[in-house]
Copies of this chain bind each other. A is one copy, B any other.
């Protein structure tokens, strides 16, 4: 059974990716990164999802990015926007995907896994530089020069199966694979029980996605 490291945030996208990797027959090693995000509801969700979707193992690695700040997710002084923003949103965390993919790369090498899955997608792409196809390709190229495994003839592939999908399409894929979206947390400022604010960018994208997909939204929003 081929092993894969799957980055799992606890949101709906990475949950769908985990289900996709699982159905492809990979033994999935789910990796969550505790980087000092505003709430831990997302990480608790990741734990439940990993179990429900049959991950072989789930690990949480802690790396404190609040010391650097620079994002509304890692600096309490920067408020989470409740209106759509022009350009790159304040929720962008400097180098986050690069750090998370690097950690996935380390674990993949130790596991002798040649596959990493990440749930970046076209909707995020509109604002986040590290969600673009060219970025993912450049990371994969770099990774294949970085590791002992790659040098010794086991190249690595970075899979981003949601890259070109809309939120509605992602929901359709997840739904078909029996992902329980009620378990997932997208909200940037969920409370500790995982209840979503209903007004941040992530909530808006999620709500619009369910509406466009024609699938009932199981999310418990504080403001509806």
Contact = CB atoms under 8 A, between A and B. Distances in A.
Closest 4 CB pairs of A and B: A70-B110, A95-B106, A94-B109, A138-B142
Question: Chain A binding site: helix, strand, loop or mixed by DSSP?
Answer: helix
A192 interface: no
Interface string A117-133: 00000000000011010
A64 interface: yes
B151 A146 contact: no
Contact of A141 (B95, B96, B142, B147): B142
A95 B135 contact: no
A98 B109 contact: no
Contact of A105 (B98, B106, B107, B109): B98
| Central interface residue in A65, A132, A148, by most chain B CB within 10 Å | A148
A147 B105 contact: no
Contact of A145 (B63, B64, B134): B134
6 contacts: A61-B64, A62-B62, A95-B105, A130-B147, A135-B145, A135-B146
Interface in A81-132: 88, 92-99, 102-103, 105-107, 109-110, 129-130, 132
